[in-house]
Amino acid sequence: MNTLTNVIQYLLPLLALALLLLGLGKKRVIYIQISLWLALIALLLEYKYAGNEILGTYFDYNHAALYSLALLILLVDLLYIGIKYLKPLNPFYRIAGGFLVACLVTGSILLMVNLWVNAQFIENRFPNTAILQVVTFTPPAYCLSRYIYYKVGTEGKVYYLCPNHYGLIPSIGHLDVVPEFIARQLTAQHKRLDKQLNQDNGPIKQ
């Protein structure tokens, strides 16, 4: 099932891209429309597999690239169809359509920034350690959000991802002093990892 899911996740954006290029080359709207639907389905499936959230452990570099590709294809499809059908209309509808396109482009850029900041955060971490999602009653001094992600970086420092730090864009920072409840969970992770490594290696025979 996982293999089939992976094939679908790669196949849909690539098919959408092929149909988009074919539609642009032949100037056939039907290919662009099919490409639009395939890109939209690819986006919805990725979002569903991510647990209906953008930030978190799902969107690594690989999934962020697939999602970004599908999103860019969708935007180009919408622009092409919008220009084709809005051009004969009166100026009011063209202005309204242009405003809608500007909103879609801005929203897509913000979404992709979130995706790639999140991907950079979850990829560059200490091997075999998890991302901790912590909900606090009151936001800490270094983040205005109550929902914060923590990780151990490759050099052993504790980093955090703060959602919506710059308006709608997250930020990444590191902690010089680690909160006690975070330290306890990270220590438990390392203990489980050491135990697993010992079990995998087995007893050393003399």
pLDDT in tens, 93-123: 778 878 888 888 899 999 999 999 999 998 8
Predicted TM-score (pTM) of this structure: 0.81
Q: What is the pLDDT of residues 28-41, one digit of tens each?
A: 899 999 999 999 99
The residue ranges of every structural domain in the chain are 2-123, 132-201
Residue 138 region by backbone torsions, left for phi larger than 0, else alpha for psi between -120 and 50, else beta: beta
Q: Is residue 34 within 8 Å of residue 19, measured between CB atoms? A: yes
